[in-house]
Structure 1
């Protein structure tokens, strides 16, 4: 097997594992690599899904118009396995990057998408650093027997990525002197999150404090040292969480046991788990790190992605105040539906004369600029049918039935709300329908098309040919 062929397979397996792992941790994600094996080699690019195509000018300026990226490294230093480089000059909008140098690969830079609903890019950066390490190891060992094992490791790296990021950040804050062990904490959070108590999911806050700082806390209730519930006893901790539901109280833990109950603010190095029913968030200090649901971690913050609606509102003739109020109203209604775990449909009508929709009409529209009317509107979203809101910030009807002729984009797996919205908007162009499913996804639909639909990227196959040089790729 030639060295080029082996190198190409190494790159493919690592990229495929990284892409697949990140796509499960976040939304569907693309990955690209720019690299040079030796200092005098031409810079090459492997971008099978055109992640970097829109960034041609910046990439050309950084890699081809200048040799600054080559500086600052001694390639003959075999004592260092890998060095991660933080390059501010290569900040590409909407992308997360990770550059590295090693004794086996002179330079490599990984790229992936920065999704707008990410809690933090930190775990993804840790994931990419590990991909760079594995690629350097594979290039160094040239072991055909482990050529695909790196890809398998990267596919299942989510918990490790979260742990690595938390450990790195805490080490920066307080050094290596710590007694909190992150893996048991993460395992306990997942175990508690999937444990029901009398049919109900966990709600409340569990905070992990460095043992040396526990005596500084003013406890409302503290358990005797020999009777403290062990964190690994998920059922017991789940029961205790009932004492802090819907309050400012928190269960306090040292990472091994539950010490007591207190009203305590997060510190810069504390770790918190906020349980919100069937899902939750993990924080480092006051900063969200990741979320958890279905016994696994993910990057989503569970906030609806309303970019398409925001862009549409900027295009139509509305005052800045009305545009802002309408957007905030929609966000509030969606958040309320998500928190209550029920589906809903919002018809946003931008016609001068409201569209006639079959449903429960009102003698006088509700003025949604009044707080009590907004509360009523949020409750009306629980009824079957759509809520009809116009650009004058008034609600004209609820329990509305959306009908229309069949359209090409219908998806039987998405249910009646989604498909009815597709049909209705295809016949009424000057409006948008927002569909909130009971299992949290939010769809924005206009003219019979889902604006929030995710692209299906083409399947990747083994990289058996050497990736093109960056010069050739730019000229294509």
Structure 2
């Protein structure tokens, strides 16, 4: 069965919307899909940005050499036209999240996107891919005469729905279907609270949502009378109450309708917690972090620096792997401290056998950063103007260090002195990696005068410039 223009249109719209939506939720993201319209049709792949590059052997094993994916109980196209999909779960491919399903309209489909290393959870993204499968199946069942072309629009704006769907799935496992918790109003209230200031301050503290029937089991420190419980819709009132639990172990307790009181421990088995931390916050179900929120939107990020490029750079050096791992943990601790305290910092990783001389404040003898007390001291010293000088021996050799060098072509005046000084310094010194933490920008990993953390392996392209291709031909072509 060949792929006609209508199918190409559906798959292109769906993939465009999916990719755009996930890029806002998780940062720049690609998407791809493999599918077969009927049980005896060829398997096709649509991967316009080469997301699946490197996974050809596994895909060949799954779909070309092994035909068991066709061995599925007969799906009647007439009986499963619109909304019933038999799920096909994550294939567990390295660096990818995948989810798909089978239906009367599309016999088999599997959608893919990137598994970013700084994701709180893959749950919302899996729900996003699941909805992409549902939209594609629905469009194919509708056929060209009834095609509306709105699937891409739905998927672009699916963030809150993806978070809600993940929470509902978790909630149904623990509480069953008979629950009175209203998830959409809860998610809307959290976003409204996150952007509501009180006397100029952003909200801090924890607001915990529990099943209404569980309220009687909570040992409240302070329980508000039923007639005076603030409505969750009264955002300003709830925002004022958050001040009572700021910087403490206390929590506001809500049943999704009203704020019932203040408690600390011994909460019910199932809870949804909004942890407000000033300009951002985190959403948890029980103890699992689902996503973060900021600027009125939900996002997948842990709001921690992505240091995977540093980890890779250390692996490529001659440093002992165990020592490299320790060094990475030291740098990660310093970076995360600077992020949490919202101050800039510069860390010079000197991987030369004998640390080079850098102008700055030095010690009588270097300090061992493997000692917790010394690491805490280094966190404090990172606030001082200038760079920390860290050797391959995991010792701190100096602080308030000045990085100089000649001007180079890759400088960016919009990035400030820390960033450009690091570019110049690393351009003139081999075996040096500089980590720059800016208060208002992502962390930059710089080596040999280049920001290696800024490297991009793909370009955003419209999906409509490509068409699905036979999977067996795609595999053979990419293996060449």
Q: CA deviation at 1:144?
A: 6.0
Give how far 1:37 is off.
1.1
Distance apart, 1:430 and its partner CA: 1.0
Equivalent residue number for residue 254 of structure 2: 253
**Structure 1 residues 31 and 144: CA distance shift in structure 2, 3 A:** farther
1:109 paired to 2:110: yes
Mean alpha-carbon deviation: is it higher for 125-134 or for 237-246?
Answer: 237-246
Q: 1:120-145 CA deviation, whole Å, 9 max, x = no partner?
A: 11101111111111111111213567
TM-score for both structures, normalised by structure 1: 0.94
Name the structure 1 match of 2:11: 11
Equivalent residue number for residue 279 of structure 1: 280
Q: Which residue of 1 aligns with 2:421?
A: 420
CA contact (8 A) 2:6 2:144 kept: no
Query: Contact conserved, 1:192 with 1:238, CA < 8 A, in 2?
Result: yes
Superposed displacement of residue 439, structure 1: 2.4
**Residue 306 of structure 2: aligned partner:** 305
Q: Conserved in 2, the CA contact under 8 Å of 1:194 and 1:294?
A: yes
Asked whether the equivalents of residues 208 and 254 of structure 1 are also in contact (C-alpha less than 8 Å), the reply is yes
Contact 1:110 1:128 in 2 (8 A): yes
Residue 88 of structure 2 corresponds to: 86
Write the deviation string for residues 31-81 of structure 1: whole angstroms up to 9, x where unpaired. 111111122211111111111121111101110111111122323253233
Task: Report the Cα offset of residue 406 of structure 1.
Answer: 2.9
Name the CA shift for 1:172/1:379 in 2 (closer, same or farther; >3 Å). Answer: same
Deviations 1:364-384 (A, max 9, x none): 444434433322221221222
- Structure 2 gap ranges (5+): none
What SS does the corresponding residue of 2:171 show, helix, strand or coil?
Answer: helix
TM-align CA RMSD = 2.2
Q: Deviations over 1:265-312 (max 9, x none)?
A: 565521001111111110111001111011101111122222233334
Q: Where does residue 198 of structure 1 map in the other structure?
A: 199
1:13–1:413 distance in 2 versus 1, CA, 3 Å: farther
- Work out whether 1:214 is the aligned partner of 2:215: yes
Kept after mapping to 2: 8 A contact 1:96/1:113: yes
Structure 1 window deviating more from structure 2 (420-429 vs 266-275): it is 266-275
- Please state how far the C-alpha of 1:18 moved relative to its aligned partner: 0.2
Report if the CA contact (8 A) 2:208-2:252 is conserved.
yes
For 1:396-415, what per-residue CA distance to the aligned partner results, in whole angstroms no more than 9, with x for missing partners?
A: 22222222223343333333
Q: Secondary structure at the match of 2:105?
A: coil
Partners of 1:268 and 1:440 in 2: CA distance: 38
Quick one: distance in 2 between partners of 1:407 and 1:146?
A: 54
Q: Summarize deviations over 1:382-441 as a string: whole Å, max 9, x none.
A: 222211122233322222222222334333333322222122111112121111110252
Cα gap change, 1:204 to 1:349, in 2 (>3 Å)? same
Q: 1:38 maps to which residue?
A: 38
Q: Tell me, in whole angstroms, the C-alpha distance in 2 between the residues paired with 1:148 and 1:237.
A: 41
Q: How many angstroms apart in 1 are the aligned matches of 2:3 and 2:476?
A: 27
3-state secondary structure, aligned to 2:462? coil
1:352 corresponds in structure 2 to 353
Residue aligning to 2:57: 57
TM-score, with length taken from structure 2: 0.93
Hey, what does 2:130 align to over in structure 1?
A: 129
* Further displaced range: 281-290 or 189-198: 189-198
Using a 3 Å threshold, how does the CA distance of structure 1 residues 265 and 451 change in structure 2: closer, same or farther? farther
Matched with 2:394 is: 393
Where 2:94 maps in the other structure, the secondary structure is coil
Q: 1:266, 1:286 within 8 Å by CA — same for their partners in 2?
A: no
Structure 2 match to 1:383: 384
Q: How far apart, in 2, do the equivalents of 1:472 and 1:176 lie? A: 46
Residues 109-165 of structure 1: CA deviation (Å, up to 9, x unaligned): 111111111111110111111111111111121356754311111101100110011
- Tell whether 2:177 aligns with 1:176: yes
* 1:38/1:301 CA distance change after superposition, 3 Å: same
Deviations 1:324-346 (A, max 9, x none): 44333212211111111111111
Q: Which moved more, 1:269-278 or 1:305-314?
A: 305-314
| Native 8 Å contact 2:281 2:293 kept in 1 | yes
Equivalents in 2 of 1:420, 1:342: separation in Å?
A: 18
Match of 2:227 in 1: 226
How many pairs align?
474
Counterpart Cα distance in 2 of 1:444 and 1:178: 47
Q: CA 1:49/1:324 → structure 2, altered by over 3 Å: closer, same or farther?
A: closer
Cα gap change, 1:420/1:281 in structure 2, threshold over 3 Å: closer, same or farther?
Answer: same
**Superposed CA offset, 1:11-42 (max 9, x none):** 11110000000011002111111111122211
Task: Indicate the residue corresponding to 1:120 in structure 2.
Answer: 121
- Match of 1:76? 76
